[in-house]
Amino acid sequence: MWYYEKKLQYPVKVTECNPRLAKYLIEQYGGADGELSAALRYLNQRYSIPDKVIGLLTDIGTEEFAHLEMIATMIYKLTKDATPEQMKAAGLGAHYANHDHALYYNNAAGSAWTATYIQAKGDPIADLYEDIAAEEKARATYQWIINMSDDPCLNDSLKFLREREVVHSQRFREAVEILKFEKDRKQFF
Smallest distance from another protein to CB 150, Å: 22
Separation between Cα atoms, residue 5 and residue 65, nearest integer Å: 11
Phi, psi of 6 (to 5 degrees): -80, 65
Is 153 a residue that touches another protein (CB under 8 A)? no
Choose among 23, 174, 14: nearest CA to 182.
174
101 flagged as catalytic: no
Instruction: Please give the Cα distance from 161 to 174 (Å, whole number).
Output: 20
Tell me whether residue 117 or residue 128 sits nearer to another protein (CB atom). Answer: 128
182 lies in the binding site for another protein (CB under 8 A): no
Please pick, among 165, 174, 177, 182, the residue that the annotation labels catalytic. 165
Are the C-beta atoms of 63 and 74 separated by less than 8 Å? Answer: no
Q: Among 15-23, 25-33, 58-66, 116-124, which window interacts with another protein (CB under 8 A)?
A: 58-66
Name which of 32 and 178 has its Cβ closer to another protein. Answer: 178
Q: Which candidate, 35, 41, 60, 29, places its Cα nearest to that of 116?
A: 41
CA nearest neighbour of 64 among 152, 148, 172 = 172
User: What number of other Cβ atoms are within 10 A of residue 162's Cβ?
Assistant: 18
Site for another protein in 63-92 (CB under 8 A): 63, 69, 72-73, 76-77
Distance CA 174, CA 186 (A): 19
Compare residues 126 and 167 and give the one whose CB is closer to another protein: 167
Q: Does 6 bind another protein (CB under 8 A)?
A: yes
Distance CA 103, CA 129 (A): 31
Which string of x and - marks every residue 12-51 that binds another protein (by CB under 8 A)? x---------------------------------------
Q: Which of residues 93-152 bind another protein (CB under 8 A)?
A: none
Which residues are at the interface with another protein (CB under 8 A)? 3-12, 53, 55-56, 59-60, 63, 69, 72-73, 76-77, 167-168, 171, 174-175, 178
Catalytic residue set = 35, 64, 67, 135, 165, 168
